[in-house]
A and B are shown apart, each in its own frame.
Chain A
C-alpha cells in the first residue's frame, strides 16, 4: 500500500488529454512538500518529468504539466502520442515517515 495513491491505469486516444492524480495526506503533500513526477518506459529506469510540482526539466515537452492543490497533485498530458505509453509515478516527502515516498504508479495506455 503506497503512501501516495494513484489510479492503476488510465487510457486515451492519440491527440486527447489525460490526467493522472496523486492523492496524499497532511503528512506529505498537504504539508507543502513538493511533488515530482517520473515516466518509466518498459525496461528502463525512471526519468524525471516534472519537478517541484510544475517545473519541466530541459527536453520534456510542454505537453506535460503538473499541478498541486491541498493534499493532492496531478499530471496532465495533452496531445497524447503513442510514445507516451508508459508507467508514471508521483513522489514527495512524508514527515511522519521521514522518508521519500512514491505513488503506486499509473500505467498509461494510448489506444
Chain B
C-alpha cells in the first residue's frame, strides 16, 4: 500500500526556516523513474508546485522560489525533506508531498494528507 505522510511544524515565525519531512511507504525512490514533489495550497487558493527530487538525486525547483528551497532525500529512511528559508506570512499554506514518475508531463498518483503551516509572529 502506497502512502506518503508529511510532518513538520504547524507554526513558524517570519524569517525562520521551515523544514518538512515526507515519509514514504509502499514504494522507494530507488525504483527506476520514481520521483517525489512538494506542492502547496494557501487557504482557499490553488495548488502550486514547489520542488521535485528523483531517485538519481536530480532536483528541480519552482523558478519563483528557487533561491529559498532545498529538497533532499534520505533513502535509508525513505524520506524526502524540503527546507524553505525566510518564511513569510504569504507562505501560510497546506504543504503536500506527492509521488510521480519521471515523465515530460508527470501526474501525481499518490498524495500525502498534507500538513498545515502557518507563518505568524
Contacts and interface: CB of A to CB of B under 8 A. Distances in A.
Contact of A2 (B46, B96, B103): B46
B111 A100 contact: no
A105 B105 CA distance: 19
A109 to B, nearest CB: 16
B109 A48 contact: yes
Contact of A100 (B49, B109, B112, B114): B49
A36 B114 contact: no
A34 B104 contact: yes
Given A45-B96, A45-B113, A102 B105 contact: no
Contacts, number: 61
A29 to B, nearest CB: 9
A51 interface: yes
B56 interface: no
Nearest to A52: B107
A34 B101 CA distance: 13
A100 B46 contact: no
B57 interface: no
Given A34-B104, A99-B62, A99-B63, A89 B112 contact: no
Given A45-B114, A46-B111, A97-B63, A33 B105 contact: yes
Given A45-B96, A45-B112, A45-B113, A99 B49 contact: yes
Interface string B81-121: 00000000000000010000001111111011110000000
B111 A47 contact: yes
A49 to B, nearest CB: 10
Interface of B: 37, 46-49, 52, 60, 62-63, 96, 103-109, 111-114
6 contacts: A35-B105, A44-B113, A46-B96, A100-B37, A100-B52, A102-B48
Given A44-B113, A45-B111, 13 more contacts: A2-B46, A34-B103, A45-B114, A51-B107, A57-B109, A91-B47, A97-B63, A98-B63, A99-B49, A100-B37, A100-B49, A100-B52, A105-B47
